[in-house]
Amino acid sequence: MDNKRKICVIIPVHKAAPQPDELIALNACKKHLSSHNCYLIFPQGMDTSAYTAAFEGLLLKPVDPGWLASVEQYNKMKLNLEFYRLFAAYNYMVTYELDAYIFSQDLENAGAFDFDFIGAPFFEGYWEAKPGAKLVHGCNSGFSVRNINSCIRALSGMKKFRFRWLLYRLFLSHSSRLRLKLNGLTKGRLEVFITGRFGFYFADFHLNEDVVWTEVIPKLFPWFKVADPITALNFSFEYNLEDSLKLNKGRLPLGCHAWYKHLEFWSRYIDTRSIT
Question: Above pLDDT 70, what percent of the chain?
Answer: 98
**CB-CB contact of 182 with 172 (8 Å):** yes
Mean pLDDT on 60-74: 95
**pLDDT value at position 201?**
83
**pLDDT value at position 93?**
98
Cα 110 to its chain centre, rounded Å, is 16
pLDDT for 127-163, tens place per residue?
788 888 999 999 999 999 999 999 999 999 999 998 8
Amino acid identity of residue 268, one-letter, is R
The contacts of residue 123 (CB under 8 Å, 6+ apart) are 129, 133, 134, 135, 136, 239, 240, 243
The contacts of residue 80 (CB under 8 Å, 6+ apart) are 67, 155
Give the number of other CB atoms < 10 A from CB of residue 56. Answer: 8
The contacts of residue 72 (CB under 8 Å, 6+ apart) are 206
Domain boundaries, the chain: 7-156+223-266, 161-220
CA-to-CA distance for 60 and 249, rounded, in angstroms? 39
Q: Is the pLDDT of residue 3 over 70?
A: no
Secondary structure (DSSP) of 41-90 = EEETT---HHHHHHSTTPEEEEE-GGGGSSHHHHHHHTT-HHHHHTTTT-
Q: Rounded to whole angstroms, what are the CA distances from 164 to 160, 197, 200, 241?
A: 8, 11, 13, 40
The model's confidence at residue 2, banded by pLDDT at 50, 70 and 90, is very low
Mean pLDDT on 114-126: 94
Q: Is the pLDDT of residue 4 over 60?
A: no
* Strand pairing class (100-102; 255-257): antiparallel
Mean pLDDT on 240-255: 95
**Average pLDDT, whole number, for the chain?**
92
Q: Is the pLDDT of residue 6 over 50?
A: yes
Secondary-structure class of domain 7-156+223-266 per CATH: alpha beta
**CB-CB contact of 66 with 117 (8 Å):** no
Q: Output 191 or 6, whichever has higher pLDDT.
A: 6
**CB-CB contact of 168 with 194 (8 Å):** yes
Question: Above pLDDT 90, what percent of the chain?
Answer: 75
Which helix (H) or strand (E) element contains residue 219?
helix 217-220
**pLDDT value at position 79?**
94
**pLDDT value at position 167?**
85
CA-to-CA distance for 238 and 152, rounded, in angstroms? 27
CA-to-CA distance for 53 and 56, rounded, in angstroms? 6
**pLDDT value at position 33?**
97
Mean pLDDT on 239-262: 95
**pLDDT value at position 14?**
96
CA-to-CA distance for 217 and 162, rounded, in angstroms? 14
CA-to-CA distance for 125 and 129, rounded, in angstroms? 4
